Amino acid sequence: MTTANEVVNGAGAPKVSYASDQEVRWCPGCGDYSILKQVETVLKEKGRPKEEIVFISGIGCSSRFPYYLDTYGMHSIHGRAPAIVSGLRSVRPDLSVWMITGDGDALSIGGNHLIHLLRRNVNVNVLLFNNEIYGLTKGQYSPTSPEGAVTRSTPMGSVDHPFNPLALCKGADATFIARGMDRDVKHLREMLLRADAHRGTSLLEIYQNCNVFNDGAFEVFTEKATKAANTLFVEHGQPLVYAGGTRGIKLDGFTPVAVDLTDGTHSVNDLWVHDERDSFKASLLVRIFDDPRKEGALPRPFGVFFVADRPTHEAKLNAQMALAREQKGEGDLDALLRGEQTWTIA
Amino acid sequence: MSQSTPAVKTVEQREQVVILFAGDSGDGIQLTGSQFTENNALFGNDVSTFPNFPAEIRAPQGTLAGVSGFQLHFGSVELYTPGDQCDVLVVMNAAALKANLAKLKQGGIIIANADGFDTKNLRLAGYPEAANPIADGSLQNYVLHTMDVTKMTRAALEGTPLGMKEKDRCKNMFVLGFINWMYSRTLERTEGFIRRKFAKRPDLLEANIKVLQAGYNYGDTSETFTTRYEVLPAPMPKGTYRNITGNQGTALGLVAAARKAGLDLFYGSYPITPASDILHELSRHKNFGVKTFQAEDEIAAICSAIGASYGGALGVTASSGPGIALKTEAMGLAVMLEIPLVIVNVQRGGPSTGLPTKTEQADLWQAVFGRNGEAPIPVLAASSPTDCFEVVYEAARIAVEHMTPVIFLSDGYIANGAEPWRFPQAQDLQPITPPFAQPRTDADAGPFLPYARDEKGVRPWAVPGMKGLQHRIGGIEKEDGTGNISYDPKNHERMVGLRAEKVRRIADSLPPMDLAHGPESGDLLIIGWGSTFGAIRTATLELLEEGHSVSHLHIRYLFPFRKELGTILKRFKRVLVPEMNSGQLRQLLRAEFLVDAQGLNKIQGLPFTSTEIRQRAEQELQLINAHTA
């Protein structure tokens, strides 16, 4: 059995286009364009035959994604892509499957399916486009909109506490958790490659700017002037440094604390060294989720937070299928219809 | 064992017997009933059963709410129902008697477990102070036998290391042994069953067999019982038979269809009464390429099945009314995707949670109409436990060959009921041919058109992995041919029409429609669908015997209707539609064929008796006679 992760790009394979003939119809300036371009780049780089790739989406702006790629694709119904993926994967472990979803699709209407996809560890690359707003329905608050968000459905500000998506996924025992952003394409490309290489459910949250209904929601993380001080790019085996190496995060017991590396009080050796295989530390890392507008906020982490090896749902299912055939032999339909006890009327 | 000489027993023959086992839901009544059923079926009797149990797993002991029943009709003649009234009532306690006495014929036999009629049980059953039906003579119109089942079970197990609780759990084996004696059956098969069931618990194995034999020997030695009965084999069509419930038939039909179509079967489902047994059965057949998926909810169940069909398997989901309601949106998606999907609804009493363990056929409108937009889905219904196999097979054939979701309706009555099945040979099953698209090469000109249609209006099934056939589909309206998103008004109207036409044309390829019984034209036509078949058939045969002009038509294809249905309806003076709902098929017939169909409606969570249908049919016949006189 081959899986998406095992397929190696044939060296020197002709570079084919993975774009479909359909005109891309997101709003001009939408962050989705950048994500589409990086996904295309990654597909090209991996060079897997187009017919072996499937994109499944739910409903929302991001869910139009499958139409723009010349692969197999299904634009399904709101929130249900994880369930469709689970069925597809159960019968087709040979394909490369990607799931495109948004903050409303994955965390609101489809929240139940998402957590079960993660606990089962179905082998799929989940790209969760988080723009903290409902775009397709024109500007209502989403389950990731911050408290107090003034939107078309919350003129006095949202009273709902938002989800921390990656903490939710960690709670559901996801085996791959990462965060990227539409504006940092080089990092995004790397995250996509890592997600694709993981066997199991790869959950990649992508901060994506909705320039029509929620413009600038992530600008503190994406704009040059503020990016360095407010973002923390984690790398396996490396200490948590940010702000151009002038600041870092150390662990004070179980509490992450930001420290200055220039005033002589702390050195790199005092810092938390990222270990993406450490489940307990990953649970702390996903919890670094401060509101950047608040004084003393910790920087928002990006990168691969956590990776674990756990057999996929379909691998376990197919192992049972193989075992059943080994123990009972290939099913004999006549024997099944006959059952255990019969009588004959002559 | 007793050393006394067995009393002389006479043996009387019976053509058919209806026996109702009743007791607490923890008394093992369902097991007792189904084991005695198997024994009679293997002997060659025709059998028909009706298990009837409470929704609670362990309702309060001794109360009316906790009574579980298993009705068995067996005979040396062909049988079509579990019987209107009982000849024998076996009751394990006072509540079981109180709940079921009305079903016993005058003069019928009551076999009562005396221990179940102590003060506490009598009070729990709601008998007045000092009243005890098995001691106060109030049952004088019946033949009453009492026996101390608990005491004799314990006595049989004296000296075994089992605790009192475990000993008492063997009570039902005493009853089963005794009933087998009473109807002149042997215990071999039941003993074999016990050996398999308790293979890992030798102590329980031995205890159950001991008590089973004690019950049998009690019949032989007790002087109370002087008569045994014998029910000869039924003159059924030649062939080899097995016993099967409707849910088993459904499961096997799905496995067979997938096998004949050369597809893997994927079954996505969320547990719900009374459909769960299909999941249990299918999960045992992994060596047939059957993959079962217990989803997180009903929506995920159908969506996973859609995903599996998209991947080239036969996707199936099943539920009962409330779960089907949750699947509605995804059914619409399957209509738009035009991929194979079988949706099984084992109907139960509704609305909402309704009566989970009781039967009803009130989801017909839900099946035919219950979606947003115009989303036609073929609807088929099974009429008996064995028919479940045939009809779900046909549903799967239509789903695959016509690239459409199909709804298969069963109900709690036939799902749990059992009857003998002259099972088919695999080679005789109708072939199923998936309309797979042909992979393309670079030399093929023009783009692949996922929604190009053949003469039946069916699109090709292009499965991921097929070279050159990459395409995108979804729930948004699609452009004719290409499947690309289209908001063009005329295109939408054309696509709505094309989808409807595809479903309509399914009826074109079906064999002609036959009446179940009776003349081709005449006075009264009784039309049924689903599990009312047996009761209508019995009533029709009786009326025909008496010389009335009555015919029975049973509808398997509820949507779309067969073309000739309209002409058949017009050949009768009156049309009667018995249904376990308020008249859902009747309305469809009236709307489609402008026929003045009359209804006989029962919504009590219970199947029709043939007497109820017969009496109503007689009224119709009187009206016809009055009119012609």
Per residue in B250-294, pLDDT (tens digit) is 999 999 999 999 999 999 999 999 999 999 999 999 999 999 999
Could you say which of B407, B428, B449 is where a domain stops?
B428
Q: What CA–CA distances, in Å, run from A346 to A340, B16, B80, B169, B237?
A: 20, 21, 22, 40, 8
Note the pLDDT of residue B295: 98
Domain assignment present for residue B437? The answer is: no
> Residue B496: pLDDT above 50?
yes
Regarding whether B251 and B223 lie in a shared domain, the answer is no
Length of chain B (residues)? 629
Query: Residue B569: what residue type?
Result: L
Q: Which of A201, A190, A186, A233 has the alpha carbon at shortest distance from A309? A: A201
Could you say which of B208, B230, B252 is where a domain stops?
B230
Q: Which of B154, B130, B139 has the alpha carbon at shortest distance from B210? A: B154
Would you give the end-to-end CA distance of chain A in angstroms?
50
Cis status of the peptide bond prior to B351, with omega within 30 of 0: yes
Regarding whether B566 and B620 lie in a shared domain, the answer is yes
Residue that is written with structure tokens 């407010």 in the block: A230
Burial of A3 (0-12, 13-18, 19+ CB in 10 A): middle
The answer to whether the CB atoms of B474 and A89 lie below 8 A apart is no
Regarding whether B190 and B44 lie in a shared domain, the answer is yes
Residue B553's domain is classified under what CATH number? 3.40.50.920
Nearest-CA residue of chain B relative to A59?
B475
Regarding whether B137 and B43 lie in a shared domain, the answer is yes
Q: Is A3 on the interface with B (CB under 8 A)?
A: no
Note the pLDDT of residue A7: 40
B54-90 pLDDT tens trace: 877 777 889 999 999 999 999 999 999 999 999 999 9
B10-58 pLDDT tens trace: 899 999 999 999 999 888 999 999 999 999 999 999 999 999 888 777 7
Note the pLDDT of residue A2: 39
Regarding whether B171 and B282 lie in a shared domain, the answer is no
H or E segment to which residue A304 belongs: strand A300-307
> Residue A5: pLDDT above 90?
no
Regarding whether B333 and B213 lie in a shared domain, the answer is no
Question: For residues B6 and B83, is the Cβ–Cβ distance under 8 A?
Answer: no
Domain assignment present for residue B235? The answer is: no
> Residue A12: pLDDT above 80?
no
B290-294 sheet: strands from edge to edge: B290-294, B265-269, B314-319, B341-347, B405-411, B379-381, B557-559
Regarding whether B103 and B70 lie in a shared domain, the answer is yes
Domain count for chain B: 3
Regarding whether B331 and B214 lie in a shared domain, the answer is no
Domain assignment present for residue B85? The answer is: yes
**How many CB atoms sit inside 10 A of residue A334's CB?**
12
Q: What is the DSSP letter of A95?
A: S
The answer to whether the CB atoms of A67 and B472 lie below 8 A apart is yes
% of chain B with per-residue pLDDT over 90: 90
Q: Is A147 on the interface with B (CB under 8 A)?
A: no
Residue B302's domain is classified under what CATH number? 3.40.50.970
Note the pLDDT of residue B132: 95
% of chain B with per-residue pLDDT over 70: 99
Regarding whether B248 and B226 lie in a shared domain, the answer is no
Domain assignment present for residue B471? The answer is: no
Quickly list H helices, B430-577: 489-504, 533-545, 565-569
Note the pLDDT of residue B61: 87
Residue B162's domain is classified under what CATH number? 3.40.920.10
> What are residue A126's DSSP bridge partners?
A99, A203
Would you give the end-to-end CA distance of chain B in angstroms?
70
**Alpha-carbon gap: B330 to the closest alpha carbon of chain A (Å):** 7
> Residue B435: pLDDT above 90?
yes
Q: Is A167 on the interface with B (CB under 8 A)?
A: no
A219-236 pLDDT tens trace: 999 999 999 999 999 999
Note down the domain range covering B530.
522-628
Q: With beta carbons under 8 A apart, name residues in chain A contacting B469.
A: 51
Regarding whether B391 and B535 lie in a shared domain, the answer is no
Facing B286 at nearest CB: one of A80, A82, A321: A321
B392-421 pLDDT tens trace: 999 999 999 999 999 999 999 999 999 999
Q: Is the dihedral of CA B261, B262, B266, B267 positive or negative?
A: positive
Could you say which of B428, B450, B479 is where a domain stops?
B428
Task: State the Cα–Cα distance between residues B111 and B295, nearest whole angstrom.
Answer: 45
The answer to whether the CB atoms of A345 and B293 lie below 8 A apart is no
Facing B465 at nearest CB: one of A95, A113, A317: A95
Three-state DSSP class for residue B105: strand
Domain assignment present for residue B157? The answer is: yes
Q: Is A54 on the interface with B (CB under 8 A)?
A: yes
Q: Is A284 on the interface with B (CB under 8 A)?
A: no
> Residue B2: pLDDT above 50?
no
Tell me the pTM. Answer: 0.93
Note the pLDDT of residue A10: 45
Structure tokens at B578: 């018995």
**How many CB atoms sit inside 10 A of residue A260's CB?**
12
Query: Residue B126: what residue type?
Result: G
Domains of chain A with CATH codes = 4-232+275-320 (3.40.50.970), 239-273 (no CATH)
% of chain A with per-residue pLDDT over 70: 96
Q: With beta carbons under 8 A apart, name residues in chain A contacting B467.
A: 49, 51
Domain assignment present for residue B93? The answer is: yes
The answer to whether the CB atoms of B304 and A83 lie below 8 A apart is yes
Query: Residue B391: what residue type?
Result: V
Domain assignment present for residue B226? The answer is: yes
Average pLDDT, chain B: 95
> Residue A156: pLDDT above 60?
yes
> What are residue A207's DSSP bridge partners?
A130, A181
Regarding whether B74 and B208 lie in a shared domain, the answer is yes
Substitution target in B294, B425, B463, B470 with the highest count of A β-carbons within 10 Å is B470
Regarding whether B313 and B219 lie in a shared domain, the answer is no
Question: For residues A84 and B310, is the Cβ–Cβ distance under 8 A?
Answer: yes
Burial of B509 (0-12, 13-18, 19+ CB in 10 A): exposed
Facing A76 at nearest CB: one of B41, B467, B475: B475
Domain assignment present for residue B351? The answer is: yes
Q: Could you tell me the pLDDT band of residue B5, with boundaries at 50, 70 and 90?
A: low
Q: Which of B527, B541, B535 has the alpha carbon at shortest distance from B596? A: B527
Query: Residue A303: what residue type?
Result: G
**How many CB atoms sit inside 10 A of residue B567's CB?**
10
Give the list of residues 6+ apart from residue B95 with CB closer than 8 angstroms, or none. Answer: B24, B62, B63, B64, B66, B67, B121, B124, B125
Facing A342 at nearest CB: one of B242, B268, B476: B242
Q: Is A309 on the interface with B (CB under 8 A)?
A: no
The answer to whether the CB atoms of B470 and A75 lie below 8 A apart is no
Task: State the Cα–Cα distance between residues B52 and B388, nearest whole angstrom.
Answer: 19
B580-625 pLDDT tens trace: 999 999 999 999 999 999 999 999 999 999 999 999 999 999 999 9
B7-16 pLDDT tens trace: 578 899 999 9
Give the list of residues 6+ apart from residue B509 with CB closer than 8 angstroms, or none. Answer: B456
Substitution target in B302, B310, B392 with the highest count of A β-carbons within 10 Å is B310
